Amino acid sequence: MITTRIHRAVLPVLLIAGLAACGNDDTGREANPLLIAARTAGSAVSGMRGGEAEQAPAAPRTPEQMAAEALRVNPAPLVMVNFESLGRTQVMAMTGQNGAMRTYMAPSKEALILRDGMLIGTRGLGNDLSVVEPQTEALIRAGRSGSAQRVMRYYSGDGLERPLSFDCTVGPGPKPGVIVESCEGHGARFQNNFMPQGGHLPVSRQWAGPRLGYITIQTLRP
């Protein structure tokens, strides 16, 4: 039944919210990333209903409502995405696939490129990631500790790619089932959070860059 699928789809984000409720620090740039993920994953896109100008704004939709509508009208693989720096949550559908790489796009033509949950690139968002080369990926999927580099290539104003290399360590997070990737380089520090399941990454919070900031990604339909 569709209600069962919806419940299973939103459960990982609710689980993140439960884990984050037990966190401590929530201030500054080094705030608990799970707390931030829980806050932002629960936000919804609000808008005006069609009709008269004086009509009241529509009530914000919950993640469950957004997932239900998307699963009902679109048979494609779906992800729910929250852009923290933009302050909005939306559902994206798969529009293309090249091997393990999938492109998920919103009606606004903004897109993410994912490799089974791992953020590989962005399109149409400005300050886009051309491609990410996470040498930590195998560690994250296996839930193992270790260290490796993460190379993030950005489009510059002249249309060329500018690579930035970060030194990263991977290890268990403060709560069971959470894997944390902590990276540093070029004056920046960030943490990516994953909940791997059998090598897959159905729920994550990943840093896309100094301008795009963190993106929370949740698989609704694989």
| pLDDT computed for residue 48 by the predictor | 26
Give the pLDDT band (50/70/90) at residue 213: very high
User: What is Dmax (Cα atoms) for the chain?
Assistant: 58
What would the two tokens of residue 175 be? 């709560």
Q: What is the mean pLDDT of residues 159-173?
A: 93
Mean pLDDT over each residue of the chain, to the nearest integer = 80
Using N-to-C axis directions, what is the helix angle for 2-20 and 33-41, rounded to 10°? Answer: 140
| pLDDT computed for residue 79 by the predictor | 97
Burial class (CB within 10 angstroms; exposed 0-12, middle 13-18, buried 19+) of 221: middle
| pLDDT computed for residue 42 by the predictor | 41
Q: How far apart are CA 144 and CA 54, in angstroms?
A: 56
Burial 69-108 (b: 16+ CB within 10 A, else e): ebbeeeeebbbbbbbbeeeebbbbbbeeeeeeebbbbbee
Q: How far apart are CA 174 and CA 200, in angstroms?
A: 20
Tens digits of per-residue pLDDT, 22-33? 333 333 333 333
Q: How far apart are CA 150 and CA 77, in angstroms?
A: 27
Element (H, E) at 142: helix 137-142
| pLDDT computed for residue 70 by the predictor | 84
54 CB-near residues (< 8 Å, 6+ apart): none
Choice between 55 and 158, residue whose per-residue pLDDT is larger: 158
Tens digits of per-residue pLDDT, 102-128? 999 998 999 999 999 999 999 999 889
- Cβ atoms of 204 and 117 within 8 Å: the answer is yes
| pLDDT computed for residue 67 by the predictor | 78
Tens digits of per-residue pLDDT, 61-110? 777 787 788 888 889 999 999 999 989 999 999 999 999 999 999 989 99
| pLDDT computed for residue 54 by the predictor | 52
- What domains does the chain contain, in order, with CATH numbers? 2-44+61-221 (2.40.360.10)
Instruction: Residue 23: name the closest of 14, 41, 39, 35 by CA.
Output: 35
Percent of the chain at pLDDT > 90 equals 59
- Cβ atoms of 46 and 58 within 8 Å: the answer is yes
| pLDDT computed for residue 62 by the predictor | 75
Q: Is a pLDDT exceeding 70 seen at residue 10?
A: no
Give the pLDDT band (50/70/90) at residue 192: very high
| pLDDT computed for residue 143 by the predictor | 96
